[in-house]
Amino acid sequence: MEQCVIEKWTEKGHGRAFQQGKAIDIKGAFVGETVQVDLKKGKRGGKKGILKSILNPSVERVLKKCSHTLICGGCNLHGLSYDSQVQMKQKNVEKLFSQPVQPILTAQEPFYYRNKMEFSFSQDKDKKKYLGLVEEESRGKVFEQKDCALCPEWMITTLKSVFDHWCGTSLDAYYLHTNTGSLRTLTCRVGVNTADRMVILGLSGNPMFALSFEELEGFKEAILNANKGCKNLSVFVVLTHVEKGVPTYTSEMHLFGKDHISEVLCGKTFYISPQSFFQPNPKQAELLYKTAFDLLQPKPSDSVLDLYCGVGSIGICLKERVHKVVGIELNRYAVCDAKRNISINNLENVEVTVGDVKDSLAQHKDTPFDIIILDPPRAGLDEQVIRTLQQMRVEKILYISCNPKSLSRDLVFLENCGYAVEILQPVDQFPQTLHLEMIALFKLKNN
């Protein structure tokens, strides 16, 4: 057992102490604290401390709402006051940019805000069963989930019901390396503003490990029993088909309820199917969109190209301020939802097509758009996309990023394409974590 004083934060939100000039990273320890730890070998010759006790707690430490914080990687800042979390995130994001960064727009509800959680089925070599999230830096080790401070309580109740049912069966968890076993994931989704619920049982698509009708009914009943008070519950099965030499693909089975959940965002209604992406924190997403649109200041005559558009949420919420919106999205399920969302909101001059942005964007390079909206994956923009943007030379680009690091890289590329960044506005959509959403507004420089 070693005694350490935490001197700084790591990029993962762990505390870092130093012993004889070597760093010791300690999950769950905060700057300024004196702690006792067990030392283990870390990566690249470093050391890792396993927190055993806190001898001198930080004044910024608050009561935890989850029992898994020392192993789960989902919320490394849990236990630190929200004001301190925001200050840390502000410093971190300011280090990434040479341009001024606006103060973070904070969350009113820092707990229980997620509308989607995906839990994993797993078994150890002794066939002991687990259903929950993955331990941080464990190479896929799943722990038995008892609670969570990020998602609604009904999701944990559903998880426990499904787990209890599974323990009474002989079914095995899926093992990727051999494509054996049946049970992959349990996903729970909710419409925060509608109370609609959806539970998705992820199964192997290997026919050798298919569930019988009776086995599917057993899991369905376990889900229904955990959600007796819910008036709008949907239950799906998603099969993931893995075969050598064939691209992995999925298929769906609808077991109960509606074929979607609904959500309301910026006064618009959205239908969300099992495999479509939607903003994980709708209340903060509404703040994000309204702030972005106010900064954008679109004109009623503007034509907008919405890239990586998902179910169309940004374009649909923006439509009342502009003339036309064209969206491009790779996920076919999301495009089906987008088209339905356009219809149920009675919108004209809005269209969404299926396509990989880096290929489809080139087809629009000569179309006279006034605004391009970018909401890319965490990896950021493809080089081919940036080259096409340089050719298009639209007046404004609104970049909404879930990864400030990739945005900081793409910002330089866009500046080299003739754009100047007007504002960088962070929005905290993910309290208890180090993640931030960023709004960046670019305008074409005068020639």
Judge contact between 15 and 35, C-beta under 8 A.
Answer: yes
pTM over 0.85: yes
Residue type, 96: L
Q: How far is CA 12 from CA 4, 35, 188, 389, in A?
A: 19, 19, 26, 33
Give the closest residue to 30 by CA, choosing from 81, 66, 89, 86. 81
- 49 found inside a domain: yes
Judge contact between 304 and 371, C-beta under 8 A.
Answer: yes
Q: Which residue is listed with tokens 């969570």?
A: 148
- 72 found inside a domain: no
Measured distance CA(383)–CA(367) in Å, rounded: 20
Give the closest residue to 395 by CA, choosing from 412, 418, 371. 371
- 258 found inside a domain: yes
Measured distance CA(85)–CA(90) in Å, rounded: 9
- 176 found inside a domain: yes
pLDDT tens sequence for the chain (447 residues): 889 999 999 988 999 999 888 899 999 999 999 999 999 876 666 788 999 999 999 999 999 999 999 999 889 999 999 999 999 999 999 999 999 999 999 999 999 999 999 999 999 999 999 999 999 988 889 999 999 999 999 999 999 999 999 999 999 999 999 999 999 999 999 999 999 999 999 999 999 999 999 999 999 999 999 999 899 999 999 999 998 889 999 999 999 999 999 999 999 999 999 999 899 999 999 999 999 999 999 999 999 999 999 999 999 999 999 999 999 999 999 999 999 999 999 999 999 999 999 999 988 888 899 999 999 999 999 999 999 999 999 999 999 999 999 999 999 999 999 999 999 999 999 999 999 999 999 999 975
Count of structural domains within the chain:
3
Q: What tokens were used for 188? A: 């729970």
Q: How far is CA 100 from CA 90, 421, 439, in A?
A: 11, 10, 13
CATH number, domain containing residue 390: 3.40.50.150
Residues 242 and 329 in one domain: no
- 108 found inside a domain: no
- 57 found inside a domain: yes
Q: What is the set of active-site residues?
A: 402
Q: What tokens were used for 351? A: 């269209």
